[in-house]
Amino acid sequence: MTRSVAIIGGGVIGAGWAARFLLNGWEVRVFDPEPGAAARVEAVIDRARRALPGLGDVALPAEGRLRFCSLMSEAVSDAEWIQESVPERLELKQTLYQKLQEHADPAAVLASSTSGFTPSELQLASNNPGQIIVAHPFHPVYLLPLVEVVHSARNHPDMLENAHDVLTDLGMFPLRVRGELPAHIADRLLEAVWREALWLIKDGVATTQDVDEAIRMGFGLRWAQMGLFESYRIAGGPGGMAHFLKQFGPALHWPWSKLTNVPRLDDELIAQIAEQSDDQSGDFSLDQLEDQRDRNLVGILRSLMAEGSGAGKVLRKRDVARAADLGLPRRLADVADPTRPIVTVSRAVPLDWLDYNGHMTESRYLDAFGHATDAIMAIIGCDADYIATGGSFFTVETHIRHLDEARAGAPLRIESRLLAGDGKRMQLWHEMYSGDRLLATGEHLQLHVSLDSRRVCPAAAPVAAAMRTLAKAQADLPRPEGAGRAVGDPR
């Protein structure tokens, strides 16, 4: 049976909720009388369609149906969940709930996206306060898992459990907040940083960019994967959290920040934190936590490098400088001896290339060969500038022999040559080594295409000429052992 949700308020938060429900198969009914609301919601959903379905490794349910309702009653009737995301004015919300509840199923969950108000405040003017909770999400709602769920004594435990299940089923992480307080948990932390950041700007010590770099080049990377306390637990070394607190506790009394109403870090509070930290992370040794952290950080940093964003931009710049230091050729003129195989890749195996067998996973052999192919493309003049003019090469066929294993940190070197190249079609041969060990060979057929028509077409004259020059220079190399193999051919 199709489940349906009423989205009350189609701003950026409401639209994010609409996308998350819709792409998880719910019927979504949006009520927002603002002109242009439908177009704004559709734009967010379009964005979410590119990002959310591919987030996991398993397909989501078929997309639900989206309706824009001109009457609130139409949106709300039969809805199993009602998500309110209207502006942050308490009276507005209270009045709205009275109207909503006239038409709503009394058993539906009425959840507010409020970042500031408590359930008790929201429930105050309602005849059915037990159906009202806070479900506070984070922007962009269709990607970030966190949703803070806050309740009062008026909410029945069964209803809260149901709410928890619905949110989990949407791929979210419902964090059950243990008490009612203004701004719940996350926004209190954000507010603390925000206030300190405003002081830094106001005092002229930092710009907005300085603050952002100070976050995303450092502790932001830690916090994406472990948070505050677990990171500090590791920093405490073998002594753990209690050691960390004793070492860094005194800083609380330094005049570091302008936010000076500090709690007393007495023995009781230290014991409380150390005990909670043991509950949280005590199942893992320091060594295991450090392993986890390093794998996470390498994965995050490398994903940012693929985008050339934030810390990934730093890594990319460094790679460009290193490639130049190593003399890795990126133009035909840089190739010292074109009659020999060309070293196209020199790198080490990243931590995030390993699989459950403890070695470099099969697809990363092709990933590395793909880098080698990119280098050959650049050498014959099919670089980023050329691709921007609308021509490129697509790989149409690949054969890999996985001959040996590689572990994290092991050096990799790829030597590449052209088996054929006629201006439209090129056949590449890559050999991957770690030191003297041959790890794999790759044989690849590339066709030149127009990126407009997506069809095969001849390369521009200089690229075709360079391809032929290189193919001719390498034509006298002996045919490599293993070329022309089909899978399973006898050795």
Range 110-139, binding a second copy (CB under 8 A) = 116, 138-139
Whether omega before 490 lies within 30 degrees of 0, making that bond cis, reads no
Nearer to a second copy, 104 or 428 (CB): 428
Say how far apart CA 129 and CA 167 lie, in whole Å.
Answer: 20
State in angstroms the smallest separation of the CB of 312 from a second copy.
8
Nearer to a second copy, 2 or 127 (CB): 2
Counting residues that bind a second copy (by CB under 8 A) gives 189
Whose CA is closest to 11, among 131, 127, 141, 106?
Answer: 141
State in angstroms the smallest separation of the CB of 411 from a second copy.
6
What is the DSSP pairing of strand 425-434 with strand 437-450? antiparallel
Give every CB contact of residue 335 below 8 A, 6+ residues apart in sequence: 329, 342, 379, 470
Establish if 477 lies at the interface with a second copy (CB under 8 A). Answer: no
Interface region with a second copy, contact rule CB under 8 A, candidates 74-82, 306-314, 331-339, 463-471: 306-314
H helix intervals, 282-395:
286-307, 311-326, 362-379, 384-388
Give the Å distances, CA to CA, from 321 to 233, 300, 315, 325: 36, 22, 10, 6
State in angstroms the smallest separation of the CB of 435 from a second copy.
12
Residues numbered 65 to 84 that lie near a second copy (CB under 8 A) are: none
Cβ atoms of residues 440 and 404 within 8 Å:
yes
Selected from 71, 235, 271, 456, the binder of a second copy by CB under 8 A is: 235
What does the per-residue mask of binding to a second copy show for 327-366, with x meaning CB under 8 A?
-x----------------xxxxxxxxx--xxx--xxxxxx
Establish if 279 lies at the interface with a second copy (CB under 8 A). Answer: yes
Selected from 45, 104, 221, 376, the binder of a second copy by CB under 8 A is: 221
Nearer to a second copy, 103 or 485 (CB): 485
- Per-residue tokens: 27: 């019927």
Residues numbered 240 to 269 that lie near a second copy (CB under 8 A) are: 241, 251-252, 254-263, 265, 269
Query: Rounded to 10 degrees, what is the CA torsion of 329, 332, 334, 340?
Result: 80
What does the per-residue mask of binding to a second copy show for 374-413, with x meaning CB under 8 A?
----------x--x----x-xxxxxxxxxx-x--xx-x--
Nearer to a second copy, 95 or 309 (CB): 309
Residues numbered 443 to 472 that lie near a second copy (CB under 8 A) are: 443-445, 451, 454
Determine the Cα angle at 454 with ends 451 and 460, to 5°: 50
* Main-chain dihedrals φ then ψ at residue 446, nearest 5 degrees: -115, 140
* 3-state SS, residue 476: coil
